[in-house]
Structure 1
Amino acid sequence: MADLTLLLGGDVMTGRGVDAILGRPAPPDLREQAVRDAREYVALVEAANGPVPRPAPPQRLWGEALDLLDTVAPDVRIVNLETAVTGRGTHDPTKGIHYRMHPANVAALTAARLDVCVLGNNHCLDFGPVGLADTLDALAGAGVATAGAGPDATAAWRPAAVPLADGRLLVWSVAAPSSGVPPHWAATGDRPGVAYLPEVSAASAEALAARITAEAGPGDRVVVSVHWGTNWGYDVPPEHVAFAHRLVDAGVDMVHGHSSHHARPVEVYRDRLILYGCGDLVDDYEGIGGYEAYRPELRLLWLPTLDRETGRLRCLRAAPVRMRRLRLERAGPEDARWLADLLGGFGAPFADGFTVDPGGLLAWDASSGAGARS
């Protein structure tokens, strides 16, 4: 049976300054303390790196990442869409930062040929239930599957199902309060919302594992996508490790973690991949200072390959890119080596042995010894 290669991307934030350069921007008004108009973020980008063409074609955001993906040709492409796709709704008054992209700009997502957008995060309801409904309609109309949010709890907890040659790839999406998800966003029997984890604990892992066991068949592969943790810093809380391990013990093939604005440690546990923080992929943060030590302009397109029959990780690669002028470009050799050294330097139980291959991709060497424990 053939291997299965995935693209796993972190936060894709196509609202605010990103939406402002596209063909039909949503209303630009913001409720932030310092910035009241989304176009001010474009001005910060231009002050830092030069002019940005407007209106920009939708594929421009992905830039050279599109060529990289064409070369690797992943079978399934999954990102965390941290933006409401709507031109309507009102700003959630309990939130200080709001993201929305006009539905007319949905081609900015389909340009990357995404298969699944997970929505269990702290921005999908920035513009209320109306904004969430528009998001679901826009993505469904574009042929992109969703998970993690819906018109009620049943829909929010339902996995996205991507057909494979012999079975399905099932993608569950859940959101934890540590990433800034308001508790009142939890979907209920009669209220739209997200698949909300009140806590990251053994009990919540067991409950999710029970849902997975009830749904997944013997030919299915399973990914759990979880929005958790803080935006900055490299620490991985022990409860996150225990939660991920319990899911793998229950048969999950991969844990796709996100919320951090930069890459966090990677673990390979029982030959299954755990990404504790993918880092951002698309955003409008250029020109915003204060976190330069984390090199947040550097991004990774994670490209794990699984054994299709068993779900075991066969190889792990990641394409290093950087955001410049609201466009992804290939990262240079020095940047790639910096990322490889970073990921390989966290110590046990996290994976080490990251190198840069001749094609400029980061590659994990399974024979290095760390991060592959049973």
Structure 2
Amino acid sequence: MGRWSRPVEHSATLFLAGDVMTGRGIDQVLPHSVDPRIYEPVMDSAEGYVALAERANGPIPRPVDYAYVWGDALAELRAWAPAPRLINLETAVTTCDDPEPKGIHYRMHPGNVPLLQAAGVDGCVLANNHVLDWGRAGLLETLEALDRAGIRYVGAGRDRREAAAPTVFGVPGGRLVLYALGMPSSGVPAAWAATEEQPGVNVLPRPSDEAVTLLAEAVRRERRPGDVVAVSLHWGSNWGYAIPRAHRVFAHALIDRAGVDLVWGHSSHHVRGIEVYKDRLILYGCGDFLNDYEGIGGHEAFRGDLVLMYLPALALADGRLRALTLVPLQIRNFRLHRAKRADAEWLAAVLDREGRALGTSVTVSADGRLALHWR
């Protein structure tokens, strides 16, 4: 299965991205910037990441406008007009100066939220390991900034109830109901869990039968006829292609027992294999979509500079996957550029190799887009 043609009637095409890390170095080249001081073992200023990127790929104009970082992705968004447009926003949006006791801290100035609007972002997953980098006050400022901009969020909140609640997006002829959870395996501290009294993240300690049961109950309470249900999972390691057996078992159980139609996983800094289980899409690791890693050595074999736009078409009647188009891009100068043909073919080969055990394959079109096929 899988096709090149536009989705047929009664389907919805979504835009999904992996980690969008617009803090730190990227924040420094935007119209508004936080204090560049950071508290990392090897770097004390976010300006250092700008310098690394410029050393690797040449000057970055400053300040850039809000469309700049999205680059060639904007033309694809205009062409496909996907809705909703969803990202994992892996940064705090705050001017708070009280860092959490951890090694890496991301924050973007609240004045830069128009960057998200420039791409028409409808919703942000916040169940990740950077949204509380600047404490609970920083999280509250993040929520307030997104609220002011009219951008919905899921996976974090002012208390446990809000953090665990789904966010609902209207699509022509139906709704997309999105839940989000973050796991310690991706670096989300257990102490960041929202409680009855304090803000935080919707933390899932580990994949478990109990978690499936609880989510199944939540879905049953929320679901209406014609709804498509998606679950975002920030899980697993940053590097490597191996998919833990526990992740596959959990993803299958969400589909079998909780009625989930789409499993959207992220945390790895590069793409991982894709599965279609009972005609439901499972993205085990979407990879980063935007980051400030240019010029940083190590892990070059994984080509973390190559990223994907995920454009799944889902049948509104039953949530089944009808088609998945993948648009390859490259991060360069803190901007998304169309990937070269050779790079698109490299990504397709990786996904094809990793998909063999998952029953999927990938082909490249004449225009450089990728298509998923499954059996």
**TM-score exceeds 0.5:** yes
What is the aligned counterpart of 1:46 among 34, 54, 65?
54
Structure 1 range deviating more: 179-188 or 1-10? 1-10
Structure 2 unaligned regions, length at least 5: 1-8
Q: In structure 1, what is the Cα distance between the partners aligned to 2:26 and 2:89?
A: 13
- Displacement of 1:16 in angstroms is 0.2
Match of 2:293 in 1: 285
Q: Which amino acid aligns with 1:320?
A: P
Match of 1:29 in 2: 37
Structure 1 range deviating more: 23-32 or 207-216? 207-216
Structure 1 length normalisation: TM-score?
0.96
Match of 1:154 in 2: 161
Match of 1:355 in 2: 363
1:301 aligns with 2:298: no
- Displacement of 1:71 in angstroms is 1.1
Match of 2:234 in 1: 227
Q: In structure 2, what is the Cα distance between the partners aligned to 1:261 and 1:351?
A: 23
Given that residues 18 and 326 in structure 1 are in contact (C-alpha distance below 8 angstroms), is that contact kept between their aligned partners in structure 2? yes
Q: In structure 2, what is the Cα distance between the partners aligned to 1:242 and 1:206?
A: 14
Match of 2:119 in 1: 112
Instruction: State the identity as a percent.
Output: 51
Q: In structure 1, what is the Cα distance between the partners aligned to 2:283 and 2:192?
A: 25
Q: Which amino acid aligns with 2:46?
A: A
What is the aligned counterpart of 1:244 among 235, 242, 251?
251
- Displacement of 1:80 in angstroms is 0.2
Q: How does 1:1-374 map to 2 (within 5 A)?
A: 2-93=10-101, 95-249=102-256, 250-366=258-374, 369=375
Structure 1 unaligned regions, length at least 5: 370-374
Q: In structure 2, what is the Cα distance between the partners aligned to 1:183 and 1:346?
A: 31
- Displacement of 1:188 in angstroms is 0.9
- Displacement of 1:40 in angstroms is 0.4
SS at match of 2:275: strand
Given that residues 24 and 106 in structure 2 are in contact (C-alpha distance below 8 angstroms), is that contact kept between their aligned partners in structure 1? yes
The 4+ residue runs of structure 1 with deviation greater than 4 A are none
Given that residues 29 and 63 in structure 2 are in contact (C-alpha distance below 8 angstroms), is that contact kept between their aligned partners in structure 1? yes
Q: In structure 2, what is the Cα distance between the partners aligned to 1:254 and 1:205?
A: 14
Match of 2:6 in 1: none
Q: Which amino acid aligns with 1:226?
A: L
* Count of aligned pairs: 366
- Displacement of 1:2 in angstroms is 2.1
Post-superposition Cα deviations, 1:203-228, rounded to whole Å, max 9, x if no partner, equal: 22222222122211122111100000
Q: Which amino acid aligns with 2:190?
A: P
Q: Which amino acid aligns with 2:175?
A: R
Given that residues 65 and 329 in structure 1 are in contact (C-alpha distance below 8 angstroms), is that contact kept between their aligned partners in structure 2? yes
Post-superposition Cα deviations, 1:102-159, rounded to whole Å, max 9, x if no partner, equal: 0001111111101110000001111111111111111111111100000100000011
RMSD: 1.1
Given that residues 317 and 363 in structure 1 are in contact (C-alpha distance below 8 angstroms), is that contact kept between their aligned partners in structure 2? yes
- Displacement of 1:348 in angstroms is 4.5
Given that residues 174 and 316 in structure 2 are in contact (C-alpha distance below 8 angstroms), is that contact kept between their aligned partners in structure 1? no
Q: In structure 2, what is the Cα distance between the partners aligned to 1:193 and 1:10?
A: 21
- Displacement of 1:164 in angstroms is 2.4
Structure 2 length normalisation: TM-score?
0.96
Structure 1 range deviating more: 344-353 or 254-263? 344-353
Match of 1:372 in 2: none
Q: In structure 2, what is the Cα distance between the partners aligned to 1:216 and 1:315?
A: 24
SS at match of 1:14: coil
- Change in Cα spacing, 1:59 to 1:351, as seen in structure 2 (3 Å) is farther
Given that residues 62 and 112 in structure 1 are in contact (C-alpha distance below 8 angstroms), is that contact kept between their aligned partners in structure 2? yes
Q: In structure 2, what is the Cα distance between the partners aligned to 1:362 and 1:348?
A: 16
SS at match of 2:178: strand
SS at match of 1:236: coil
SS at match of 1:353: strand
Q: In structure 2, what is the Cα distance between the partners aligned to 1:10 and 1:349?
A: 22
